[in-house]
Amino acid sequence: MIYLIVMNMFFILPNGEKPKDLHGCFELLLKDCNLLEDSDGQNRTLYSIRHTYATIKLLEGKDIYMIALQMGTSVGMIEKTLLSRYGINERLQYSWRF
């Protein structure tokens, strides 16, 4: 019930209609907050939130296996797409490696 109330209050188009999907609303929200582009000039997307979540959890020292399980992906995919791409390797202490 609370989830529906939040959705009804937060994701409404300027004309008062409910959105067909969240992608357009997310883009409008980012534009209104001047956050659409990241530091590299790339547009943020809903998928960006997934990367942000994984990156934050890794930097907090959370277990990479648990993160992979929560996200429905593999440890290898996280290592391939996040660790090397964002240079996290140098900032993490790999508690999951022996």
- Percent residues over pLDDT 90 in the chain: 19
Full-model pTM: 0.62
Delimit the domains of the chain by residue range.
2-32, 47-91
- Cβ contacts of 67 within 8 Å, gap of 6 or more: 54, 57, 58, 78
Residue, of 89 and 98, whose pLDDT is higher:
89
User: What pLDDT does residue 5 have?
Assistant: 46
Task: Compute how many other C-beta atoms are within 10 angstroms of the C-beta atom of residue 44.
Answer: 16
Over residues 5-31, mean pLDDT: 73
Element at 68 (helix H, strand E): helix 64-71
pLDDT at 80 over 90: no
| 58 CB-side CA count, 13 A | 26
Confidence of residue 96 (pLDDT cuts 50, 70, 90): very low
Q: Using CA atoms, how far apart are residues 78 and 8, in angstroms rounded to an integer?
A: 33
Q: Using CA atoms, how far apart are residues 69 and 7, in angstroms rounded to an integer?
A: 27
35 SS3 class: coil
User: What pLDDT does residue 50 have?
Assistant: 87
Q: Using CA atoms, how far apart are residues 35 and 14, in angstroms rounded to an integer?
A: 19
User: What pLDDT does residue 85 have?
Assistant: 64
Residue 13 is encoded by which pair of tokens? 């188009």
Q: Using CA atoms, how far apart are residues 92 and 17, in angstroms rounded to an integer?
A: 45
